[in-house]
Copies of this chain bind each other. A is one copy, B any other.
Amino acid sequence: MRITDIREARVSIASDIANAYISFARMDVSVLAIHTDARVDGRPVVGYGFNSNGRYAQSGLLRERFLPRLREADPASLCDESGANLDPFQVWDTLMANEKPGGHGERSVAVGIIDMAVWDIVAKIEQRPLAQVLAERFGDGQVDARVPVYAAGGYYYPGKPVSALKEEMRDYLDLGYTCTKMKIGGVPLEEDLDRVEGALAVVGDAARLAVDANGRFDLQTALAFAEGLEPYGLRWYEEAGDPLDYALQQQLGEHYAPPMATGENLFSHQDVRNLLRYGGMRADRDILQMDPVLSYGLVEYLRMLDELRRHGWSPRQCIPHGGHQFALQIAAGLKLGGNESYPRVFAPFGGFADSTPVEEGRVALPEVPGIGFEDKGELMAVFNEHLG
C-alpha cells in the first residue's frame, strides 16, 4: 500500500478561557488527512490527525519539513513487512531523519499530528478500534472497556468567583463526570481556597477535585499553596512550577504529601526521564500527564512508558493531557489511569464519540475501526470542510 494524498489545514479553536499562563483567544490547531490506496469494504482508507490545544497549529513545520519527507519516502520503506499496512515506527524514523537531538517543542507537535493519522490508518486497515490493536501489540491483549475521564475547567469568573465556579462544577456532574479540575494561581491563595471550598461543596469528595497552577509558581508560592491545599487532600496539585524546574517539583514533594501531577509540557522521553530522575515524583501516588499528540505521537509515548517502567512506575499513573480520542484509545489499550476531558471548550477536537456519553465518570470506546473519528459527527464535518 502507499500514501496517495496528504492534506493539511489550520483551524481555529479560539475560546475565551485563560489559565494562569496564557489566553486561548487565538488558539488554533492543524488538521491532517492521509489518504491511502488501501481499501476496506471497497473504500480507500483515510487517516486523520490533529493536535490538541495549547501549542498552536503547525502548518509551517508540516509543509516545510515533515510532509515533504513523507511524500518523498519510498512507499515500501513506510510499510510493515507484509506491505499491506503502514509501520508507525518506520514512518517516525522517516520524519525524524536529519533532525538534531534536543529542542523538543513544536516539531514534536507536527510529528504527533502525523503519527495520530498513521495509527488511525493502521487500525482501520486492521478493521479494529485502535485500543484493541495497541492492547494486542503492546499490552496484555485486553482493553479497558471504560476509561475514567475528568472534567478540566474550573475557570475564573470575575465578580462571582465562587458562585459561577460552583455552577460550572454542577454542570460537569450533570454531564456525567464525577471528577473535576479547577484553575488556581490566578488570585491570592486565600481567594483560591474559597474557590476550592466552593467546588468541594459541589463535587463532594476531595479525591474528586484536582487543582492546576499551569506552571506559574516560584518555589515560595508553590510551597505556600501546598501548605494551604494540603489539609483538603485533593485528587492532585498540578504543575506548580515551570515544567522543567525539576528541583522545584522535588522540593514540593518534600513538603506536600497528597498527589502531585505534571508532564503535559514535556514532549520527549528524554525530558520525561529527567522528571523521573530529578523531580522527586512518587510512583505510588503522583500523576504523569504527557500528551501523546504534543510529544511526537504514540511512537514516542511508548518510549516514555518504557522509561516509566524502568523507574518503577505503572502506566496507571498516566492520565494524558489533551482530552482527545487518540489519548482515550491509548488509555484503554495500554491501561493508563484515565484521560482528560474539556467539556464545552475546544469542540469538536475535545470530547469523545457521539455514541459514548460520559457516564459515572467514565467513557466507553466506540465500536468503529481506527481512533473513532467517524463516530463524532462534528469533528468529521470539520475534517470534511477543511480537508475534503
Taking beta carbons and an 8 Å cutoff, which residues of A are in contact with B? 10, 21-26, 54-65, 97-108, 214-215, 242-247, 265-268, 270-271, 273-274, 277-278, 294
Contacts and interface: CB of A to CB of B under 8 A. Distances in A.
Nearest to A247: B277
Nearest to A104: B105
7 contacts: A22-B97, A59-B60, A60-B60, A60-B64, A101-B244, A103-B105, A274-B278
Given A103-B106, A244-B268, A274-B278, 10 more contacts: A22-B97, A55-B103, A100-B265, A101-B243, A102-B267, A104-B105, A104-B244, A244-B270, A244-B271, A244-B274
Contacts of A24: 98
A18 to B, nearest CB: 9
A61 B105 CA distance: 12
Given A60-B64, A61-B60, A274-B244, A103 B101 contact: no
Contacts of A270: 242, 244-245
Nearest to A68: B26
Contacts of A55: 100, 103
Contacts of A63: 60
Nearest to A105: B103
Contacts of A245: 270, 273
Contacts of A107: 105-106
A175 B57 CA distance: 46
For the complex of A and B, the 5 pairs showing the least CB-CB separation, nearest first, are: A60-B60, A103-B105, A102-B265, A106-B106, A102-B243
A359 B105 CA distance: 40
Given A26-B98, A60-B64, A274-B246, A103 B267 contact: yes
Nearest to A245: B270
A46 to B, nearest CB: 24
A373 to B, nearest CB: 25
Contacts of A265: 100-103
